[in-house]
Amino acid sequence: MSTAVEASLARFLDSPGVTGVALVDAVTGLTYGVAGDGAEAGDGQEASDFAALVAERLGRAGAEGELESIVMTSARRHQVLVTVGRPAGDPLLLTAGLDRERANLALAARGLGELADEVLA
Amino acid sequence: MRAPHPRNLPALLVRLHEDEFSGTVRVAGTPGGTLHLRDGLVGAVETPGAPTAASVLLASGRIGDDDWLAACAAQRDEDLLGERLVADGLVGAAELEVVCTAVVFDGAFAMSLGALGNWELSDREPGFVARPGVEPRQLTDETTRRIARLGSLWGPASDLARVRPVPGTGVVEGPLSRRHEDILNQVNGRRTARDIAFALGRGLYAVMLDLIRMRTLGFLRWEVPGALDGRPSTAARVTPGRTTAPGPPPAPSRTEPLPRRVPRGGEKGGK
């Protein structure tokens, strides 16, 4: 049975090259929902740890404001983490795996940004 | 072939999942709690050890008191309250799912911090439940992971549940996140992680993780576990729906541990 979160995430699978996407708690690492290949979306705990580390280091380096996104690129894949803002409550992360040969990173990043705005609706 | 009686709560929940049980499991203990199951899935965990979904929505200010009361009046069946909140536009369906799912895991984690006693099954009682709910095995695995993680980051989770942090005295490097500011506004040497979780409408486990991180960064400090006395919390409770006003962290009234009462401590030479 598809949940409200998974139904919301599934829309992003229509984007070219997107292999998996997940909604993760940025503090606890708990994964609330997955669409597509969960392994491609990445482990929730690792994603939240990594995002926290990057945000902390950026803050120490003098960056202002909250972390918005992280893009990691390997020979075959992109891994994208996008912060999901909430009216109240702990922050969430969208984590997505992209096939580098098929995905347009700029389009995917824009699509994930839009998804981040709508995923909790 | 099934064992006639489940040996512990996780085994019971797996059995109830197989049976697609809908009903209530009351678990004695400290803190103990009540689990609401729907078709074998855990839809809600109510325990004094962690905020419920209603506490989270109200204490965080996500839903106002008046809107909440109006929704409760319009939908008397608590099982259907979530759908009412979504229909009224007070919260999105996916966001409500996130909140309700988070508190199920958090409630199970909070219950695991104390000794669990006997359980009792009863018919379905109305509850503010997550849809569709959480599989018991997933709940057990996540609870185990959380305890192991706290153990690797700091130490026994049950000890961490008893610490009462005070603001740190070190130099803070880098900007404070809003989340950490909110915690700093709550710590005063009397409040435990549980008290802070209730006051802020956040999960107990999330608050514990933040406490550990803030201690590492020098924002907080607390006594070592061996010096804990296990007294019950005396911190003031915040009424759901009334968040504390933002402002600078309150200065603790004292930086030393609170005085401990010792039996016959005032008697000299008493037997």
Q: What are the residues whose beta carbons fall under 8 Å from the beta carbon of A110, sequence distance 6 or more? A: none
Q: What are the residues whose beta carbons fall under 8 Å from the beta carbon of B154, sequence distance 6 or more? A: B160, B212, B215
What structural domains and CATH numbers belong to chain A?
Answer: 4-118 (3.30.450.30)
Q: Which of B215, B183, B217 is nearest to B198 (CA)?
A: B183
Higher local confidence (pLDDT), B111 or B235: B111
- Whether residue A60 and residue B132 make contact (CB cut-off 8 A), yes or no, is no
The dihedral through the CA atoms of B117, B191, B237, B56 has a sign that is negative
Residue A119 sits at φ, ψ, to 5 deg, of -65, -25
Spell out which chain B residues touch chain A, with contact meaning CB-CB distance below 8 angstroms.
56, 60-62, 92-99, 101-102, 105, 131-132, 142, 145-146, 149, 173-175, 177, 179, 201-203, 205-206, 209-210, 213
Mean pLDDT of B19-26: 97
B93-112 and B204-216 helices cross at what angle (nearest 10)?
Answer: 70
Question: For chain B, how are helix, strand and coil distributed in percent, rounded to 5?
Answer: 40, 10, 45
CA distance A42 to chain B (A): 17
Tens-digit pLDDT profile for residues B162-208:
999 999 886 666 678 889 999 999 999 999 999 999 999 999 999 99
The confidence score (pLDDT) of residue B43 equals 96
- Whether residue A92 and residue B98 make contact (CB cut-off 8 A), yes or no, is yes
Size of the A and B interface in Cβ pairs below 8 Å: 80
B223 pLDDT tier (thresholds 50, 70, 90): confident
CA distance B235 to chain A (A): 22
Q: Which of A41, A47, A35, A42 is nearest to A11 (CA)?
A: A35
pLDDT, one tens digit for every residue, chain A (121 residues): 579 999 999 988 988 899 999 999 999 999 999 999 999 999 999 999 999 999 988 888 888 888 999 999 999 999 999 999 888 899 999 999 999 999 999 988 888 888 888 888 8
Calpha distance B246→A77 (Å, rounded): 43
Q: What are the residues whose beta carbons fall under 8 Å from the beta carbon of B67, sequence distance 6 or more? A: B88, B90
By Cβ distance, the residue of A5, A33, A90 closest to B206 is: A90
- Whether residue A30 and residue B142 make contact (CB cut-off 8 A), yes or no, is yes
> Do B57 and B201 touch, CB atoms closer than 8 A?
yes
Q: Which of B193, B179, B246, B256 is nearest to B223 (CA)?
A: B256
Chain B residue with minimum CA distance to A32 = B98
In chain B, what are the domain boundaries? 9-140
Share of chain B above pLDDT 70, in %: 79
Chain B residue with minimum CA distance to A86 = B95
Question: Model's pTM, two decimal places?
Answer: 0.85
Chain A residue with minimum CA distance to B150 = A28
Mean pLDDT of B207-214: 96
By Cβ distance, the residue of A5, A28, A55 closest to B209 is: A28
